[in-house]
A and B are shown apart, each in its own frame.
Chain A
Amino acid sequence: MLSYVIFSATTAGIYGLLALSLNLIWGGAGMVNLGLAGFFAVGAYASAILSLAGVPVPIAILAACAMGAAAGIGATWATVRLRGDYHAIVTLGFAEVVRLVAMNERWLTNGTDGLPGIPAPLKSVLGPQGFAVFYLCLVLTILVAVFLALRRLDRAPFGRVLKAIREDQDLAGFAGKNAMRVKLIAFAVSAGIAGLAGALYAHYQSYISPDHFQPLLTIYIFLAVTSGGVGRPAGAFLGAFLVILFLEGTRFLGHLLPGLSSGQVAASREILVGLAFLLVLHLRPQGVLPERIRPAPAQ
């Protein structure tokens, strides 16, 4: 039981990083990134391929972060001028491109077979149990560090510029802010965090394949950010744990529905997850931890 809780918490931590990444770009700059799973995949594959080629894991993870950010810049460079829905569609396309490349470029990604045997740091020293605890601590430490950094960013002038752009890009421009540049930086940081989450996931699971990066994951993260509270890092943090709690918690409700076949239980579980989030959105659309707009500090 304990190892299951440790596993779920680690997964939630990785979801948390993704939620923080999405919150920065969606809650901050108001850009919808439907391609989150794609940046997650870029990071996972980058770190997996590098470490399988013999690069030490910490360096591979850092490289994955950089690859994620680079992919973020690449994906937004041409499209950052697009607004709202158009940008969202391009990011959705990006995620599909990543998945198709991963499926078809066998020389690099081993195709649909995926990459097994990705090195797990210190696993041979610590054993499976020790590794699980160590990795939970590692993920949570990184999550808290990223959270604190993003909260700092959120409260800094940069965060205020982002929100100004979100509310009215033209107005921010009139105020002398270079909206394009700020959006590009925000997107790169966001994609870098998603890449970091991907790398952590790959080394934890030791196996990745194109099937891992289906759009469903992006939806889960959107649910996490929405239920936690868009625009506030603490909300994204909490939302990710709520989502895992829901996804895992509903497993144990099947026994309460006697007379249903296993297929029906699985279906009702999906209904339940959807229903819970509908309720959150209906009763508390601003999320559990709503955004707080702080006054700018006096000069």
Chain B
Amino acid sequence: MTNSTTRRRFLASSAILAGSLALPIRAMAQDGPIKLGTLTPLTGAGGPYGPVMADTVKAVVDGVNAAGGVLGRQIEVVSEDDQTNPEAGVRAARKLIDVDGVSAIMGTWASSVTTAVAPLCWESGTMLTTVSGADSITLLPHEGYIVRTQPNTILQGQKFGEFTVELGAGKVFFMSPQTPFADSQFSEITKVVEAAGGSTEKLIYDDKKPSYRSEVDEMMAFGPDVVVLGGYMPDTTVLLKDIYRAGYEGKMLAFAYSVNQKLVDALPAEVVEGIYTIAPSPAEGSAAYKALTELTGIASPDPYTTQIFDQVNMVILAIAAAGDASGTAIRDAFRTVSQGDGKPVHTALEGLEALAAGEAVNYDGASGPCDFTAEGDILDCQFRYEQVKDGAFTLLKIA
């Protein structure tokens, strides 16, 4: 290898580098389409959810565009992949904000990605709507630019605590891998259970172990009435087998996303019999939920899809209500369309009509009533309580 070839190679690569920088230059005219971004996990751990979320946003926007758009402008959706990784998520968000000039980013899923992306949003005046649950997110100094449709873990922890008391538990044992919500969930459960005169104990385990015998021994030594499982599906599958082997006969309570139909099908019936599950309940039967199922053709959309459906509808309504498509305008107008005494509406189209007629609107969504605190948390959410009976889920109540 001589010197000159190397230099030529180097020059060639440099030219490619320089040329590619010129590639994505696009005009960011005020009169062009309004740009909205989705930043969902299209690959990685969140891969099963992100693509449906992004497609749902596109479907809603297509509907609005067909009806003439908003503020007389069409809406363009730019979808990027956060790879369920905050490092990649930040790179994608920078592209959405700096190159595309989106006024809102919707659908960040992993809490770490949302926290990483959040500063870019509030610094650039971009609205961020998320489905992440970690409590710390809305505590960031976000100046109102973050809104989330997922109940935070304090609310979820309270529901778990209240339900264990309802099940008559005196001693509650909490088992979970290390997650952003394990600690706050446990402390909320403890508050409720101790107020009712009970006691709690927790165990944090490694979610990639092939067996949990020592963990289960520790649980058995405590002698709980109810075991709360805070893990995800793969580790919960292994854990349940070991709990059964140890001869535990008390009650068990888990998130519905971990003890789901797939897990129930994969394990022998006696292992999963009687497990209670809790999940934030989509507003099944609501007009928005019905609109969502018709739009996407999915009979029972997952919670994240119902949430991002609500997010895009509210963002579009906020733009219309503000008469301006900037991120700051969306932030300022968000709560005027999500809550209040206005006419209840369930889709962006319905809301746009009402707004055009000079009426105030209050969006009620597919994930719930969609009313927010000043910090950006939802005020109220229904939960769905189910129990495994003979290999199937039986609905106990929605409350």
Contact = CB atoms under 8 A, between A and B. Distances in A.
B87 A7 contact: no
Given A1-B24, A103-B178, A113-B136, A266 B85 contact: no
B55 A207 contact: no
B157 to A, nearest CB: 15
Contacts, number: 131
Contacts of A249: 20, 23
B179 A112 contact: yes
B38 A262 contact: yes
Interface string A103-121: 1101000011110100000
B112 A262 contact: no
A248 interface: yes
B75 interface: no
A288 B26 CA distance: 31
Given A216-B85, A262-B38, A292-B1, A7 B98 contact: yes
B91 interface: yes
A4 interface: yes
A113 B51 contact: no
B328 interface: no
Contact of A267 (B42, B94, B179): B42
Contact of B95 (A106, A251, A261, A289): A251
Interface residues of A, number: 51
A5 interface: yes
Given A112-B180, A262-B42, A263-B42, A205 B91 contact: no
B55 A1 contact: no
A251 B80 contact: yes
A261 B9 CA distance: 37
B24 A262 contact: no
A1 B17 CA distance: 16
Contacts of B94: 3-4, 7-8
B81 A269 contact: yes
A112 B9 CA distance: 44
A100 interface: yes
Interface residues on B, range: 35 or more
A19 interface: no
Main secondary structure on chain A at its contact with chain B?
helix
A247 to B, nearest CB: 7
A114 B116 CA distance: 9
A254 to B, nearest CB: 8
B21 interface: yes
Nearest to A100: B206
B90 interface: yes
Interface in B167-191: 178-180, 183
A114 B112 contact: yes
A136 B174 CA distance: 47
Contacts of A252: 23-24
Contact of B13 (A104, A116, A238): A238
B81 A266 contact: yes
A128 B99 CA distance: 16
Contacts of A155: none
Contact of B51 (A2, A206, A262): A262
A116 B113 CA distance: 12
B79 interface: yes
A214 interface: yes
Contacts of B140: 116
Nearest to B21: A5
A96 to B, nearest CB: 10
A217 interface: yes
Contact of A207 (B17, B42, B86, B179): B86
B306 interface: no
Interface in A109-155: 111-114, 116, 128
A247 B94 CA distance: 13
B123 interface: yes
A263 B51 contact: yes
Contacts of A238: 10, 13
A141 to B, nearest CB: 20
Contact of B9 (A8, A106, A265, A288): A288
B233 interface: no
Contacts of B20: 245, 249
Contacts of B200: none
Interface string B1-45: 100001001100100110011011110000000000010001100
A295 B45 CA distance: 50
A266 B116 contact: no
Interface in A1-52: 1-5, 7-8, 11
List the 5 closest pairs (A to B, CB-CB), nearest first. A263-B51, A266-B42, A4-B98, A262-B79, A266-B81
29 contacts: A1-B24, A4-B95, A7-B98, A8-B91, A116-B115, A116-B140, A207-B116, A209-B86, A209-B112, A209-B116, A211-B110, A212-B85, A216-B85, A238-B13, A241-B17, A248-B91, A249-B23, A262-B42, A262-B54, A262-B55, A262-B81, A263-B42, A263-B47, A263-B55, A265-B79, A266-B43, A266-B81, A267-B43, A289-B10
Interface of B: 1, 6, 9-10, 13, 16-17, 20-21, 23-26, 38, 42-43, 47, 50-51, 54-55, 58, 79-81, 83-87, 90-92, 94-95, 97-99, 110-113, 115-116, 119, 123-124, 134, 136, 140, 178-180, 183, 204, 206
Given A116-B119, A205-B90, 10 more contacts: A100-B206, A106-B183, A112-B178, A113-B111, A116-B115, A212-B116, A263-B50, A263-B55, A266-B51, A267-B43
